[in-house]
Structure 1
């Protein structure tokens, strides 16, 4: 279970924030079951793991409610699934936390609604000015009928007006998508964006938030070493060079294999080593840039750069590290 959880949460090529809390909830419930296990060793191990788990997920008052919003934005879950998971994990505190998440969801939706309302006011202000006179004339000319139309307009706006129900309420009132294992949440919001224009913008921003900062398939593997060539330990100068050349390196069509000996590279940067070609006594082409001044008994050399005149001391080696 823990392995599958790591793969789901640490994935980098699909949306995972909508399932993050549900997977965490599964871990919490599973640990609670193991604590009451008849195997005392397993139960003790589960207690230690649950203690660490509660340090991150035990205090409902300190939780960032943004963690729960992606689950609500998943049409397969919404508050139906989230409410059940919260009560399953936190008991009575879960019900209070659900109310807090609803309030947070509404405030977040209102933040996305404000720019849209301001744009509409700017676009339709001239139209409203042009039609206000005609409406006032109709109401005045109608006499008692004017009161009827006012009551009719009020009744329509309360019972079935377009603005009587916000997008958020409409979305939450709809039935959840059931029985779709290959459900694509991003595609759903793309297709339904005409129905929920404001809500889809919020879903676009929230669902794009990564849950983990390191992808599991790039950081480690139980089957073999798949570390990226430039995420392994490098000397400071090489790191600086890679940062400067990252645009060129990332555009390389073929994978770059870098095998290195950290001590060897550090000594090379400090001008302690003048390497020779691997498997032979032939000197490296780097010798072409130096003039030999003196050879010492320990096999080291005093050389001078033919370009800048810098004097350095080297010791030769028979081969490069494998």
Structure 2
């Protein structure tokens, strides 16, 4: 049995270069951990040189994955307009150019903190420090409460954190059924029914 367990372990976890990057992404998308924890743990486990190389691979994968999500979920100019664009159009229609200029200034101020580009959404998430009231929140609860702040990254989190960490081999699922459901366990006595 131990040899069989060791073989399974080596198949899925034995070689760090062959590990699925989504495992690391689950840690990156946990607001308590993020990329820094992945980098530190890999360096602790595999040494400075190898750990930094692995951490760099994880970081590159994370940004490329974000770029894919950004391409899927951000709208082009010809696509649907966002709330800021609707508000600008409403300002021009109701109040003329002055309201429009004021609206542009407010939008520029909001973008100034984020660098003004979409990619910074991921960087803002990675650099944000959790507040005291957020420390006790589970990752899924945090994402539910903060999805509006990080619309693209929250879609990544929704998809990646829904992936089960491990799977049960098909044979194991069927063979376990006989051990759990046997004739005495699956029948109810009259005393239990009352």
TM-score using structure 1 length: 0.39
Find the counterpart in structure 1 of residue 101 from structure 2.
Answer: none
What displacement does 1:78 show?
0.7
Find the counterpart in structure 2 of residue 193 from structure 1.
Answer: 147
Does structure 2 conserve the Cα–Cα contact (< 8 Å) formed by 1:109 and 1:202?
yes
Deviation per CA, 1:102-135, whole angstroms, max 9, x where unpaired? Answer: 11111111111112223653124xx7xxx9xxxx
Deviation per CA, 1:221-259, whole angstroms, max 9, x where unpaired? Answer: xxxxxx9998117xxxxxxxxxxxxxxxxxxxxxx7635
CA 1:229–1:59: 2 relative to 1, 3 Å: closer
What displacement does 1:175 show?
1.4
Out of 58, 61, 82, the residue aligned to residue 38 of structure 2 is 82
What displacement does 1:59 show?
3.4
Matching of residue 210 in structure 1 with residue 164 in structure 2: yes
Which residues of structure 2 form unaligned runs of 5+? 90-96, 98-104, 186-194
CA 1:53–1:90: 2 relative to 1, 3 Å: farther
Out of 22, 40, 52, the residue aligned to residue 66 of structure 1 is 22
**Whole-angstrom CA distance in 2 between matches of 1:213 and 1:82:** 23
Whichever structure has more helix as a proportion of its residues is 2
Does structure 2 conserve the Cα–Cα contact (< 8 Å) formed by 1:76 and 1:178?
no
Does structure 2 conserve the Cα–Cα contact (< 8 Å) formed by 1:112 and 1:198?
yes
**Whole-angstrom CA distance in 1 between matches of 2:135 and 2:109:** 41
CA 1:123–1:63: 2 relative to 1, 3 Å: same
Out of 244, 252, 258, the residue aligned to residue 183 of structure 2 is 258
Find the counterpart in structure 2 of residue 250 from structure 1.
Answer: none
**SS of residue matched to 2:178:** coil
**Whole-angstrom CA distance in 2 between matches of 1:231 and 1:79:** 40
Out of 178, 185, 189, the residue aligned to residue 232 of structure 1 is 178
Does structure 1 conserve the Cα–Cα contact (< 8 Å) formed by 2:32 and 2:130?
yes
**SS of residue matched to 2:44:** helix
CA 1:210–1:54: 2 relative to 1, 3 Å: closer
Deviation per CA, 1:58-108, whole angstroms, max 9, x where unpaired? Answer: 533322211100001111111221111111111121111111111111111
**Larger relative CO (CA 8 A, sep 6+): 1 or 2?**
2
Does structure 1 conserve the Cα–Cα contact (< 8 Å) formed by 2:29 and 2:157?
yes
Find the counterpart in structure 1 of residue 116 from structure 2.
Answer: 163
Does structure 2 conserve the Cα–Cα contact (< 8 Å) formed by 1:229 and 1:258?
no
Out of 60, 65, 69, the residue aligned to residue 103 of structure 1 is 60
**Whole-angstrom CA distance in 2 between matches of 1:121 and 1:183:** 39
**Whole-angstrom CA distance in 2 between matches of 1:73 and 1:162:** 21
Alignment length (residue pairs):
158
**Whole-angstrom CA distance in 1 between matches of 2:46 and 2:21:** 15
